[in-house]
Amino acid sequence: MFDYKVTDIFFDLDHTLWDFEKNSSLTFAKILEHHKVPVDLDGFLEVYSPINFQMWALYRKNGISKSELRYQRLKQTFDALRAPISDDVINMLAHDYIAQLSSFNHLLPNTVPTLEYLFPKYKLHIITNGFQEIQTKKLKGSGIDHYFQKVIDSEMAGVKKPDPYIFEMALDLAQVRPQNALMIGDNLEADILGAKTMGMQVLHYNFHNDSEHGICKMINNLIEIKNIL
């Protein structure tokens, strides 16, 4: 399957291990009700999700700041819904969303069985573009933090995936050569192409139902890793 022996596995966190969509939905249900925002949750999420995806793509390319991302993804959603929400409420929602998000800790199917299988055989690590203040809470809250030796986030590195430097930092901290490292993630650009550029081996977790691309093997459930490693 792989050209070189794998000793270290680097996972993305959101949409790969941690069920971002479910946890985010539960968080919005809580804070929208708390702030008495008169929108239908399903309708809100249907508009918000693609906007959030676009905002993160801009954020990865340094097109917007962290604070702009947090504000604009809500502002643009409410504008699209033609819901007259004040900036004060948007800012409160943006704050509460970050504060409450890590209080929900659903994992994607077969995360724990897969980590249990890999843990005795490989050194496991995290590389994430998520915000530093909540990624650690997500790992601890969901009970999977003990599986990982190194956790590298974009704020620590000063750059975001797919920038080569964050992968270089991760490899240095883990003290592993690129060819002996495997990156597993959901984002083709950030995780797969970014790691491949650094000479790492890659495995694409197809969370978003992407088309076959031929760049590397794709899996649709984490448990498939047991048949590969």
Encoded tokens for 123? 């050194």
| Domains, the chain, ordered by start | 8-18+106-227 (3.40.50.1000), 20-101 (1.10.150.240)
Residue 2 confidence (pLDDT): 82
DSSP per position, 165-223: HHHHHHHHHHT--GGGEEEEES-IIIIIIHHHHTT-EEEEE-TT-PPP-SSS-EESSGG
**Residue range 103-116, pLDDT digits in tens:** 999 999 999 999 99
- According to DSSP, residue 107 is labeled B
Residue 131 confidence (pLDDT): 82
* Cα R_g (the chain), whole angstroms: 18
**Predicted TM-score (pTM) of this structure:** 0.93
**Residue range 34-71, pLDDT digits in tens:** 999 999 999 999 999 999 999 999 999 999 999 999 99
Give the residue-averaged pLDDT of 77-81: 98
Whether residue 130 is predicted with pLDDT greater than 90 in this model: the reply is no
Residue 16 confidence (pLDDT): 98
Q: What angle do CA 175, 186, 8 make, to 5 degrees?
A: 20
Encoded tokens for 53? 């995806």
Whether residue 3 is predicted with pLDDT greater than 90 in this model: the reply is no
Provide CB contacts within 8 A for 46, sequence distance 6+: none
Give the residue-averaged pLDDT of 134-155: 96
Q: H or E stretch including 46?
A: helix 41-60
Residue 27 confidence (pLDDT): 98
**Residue range 150-168, pLDDT digits in tens:** 999 999 999 999 999 999 9
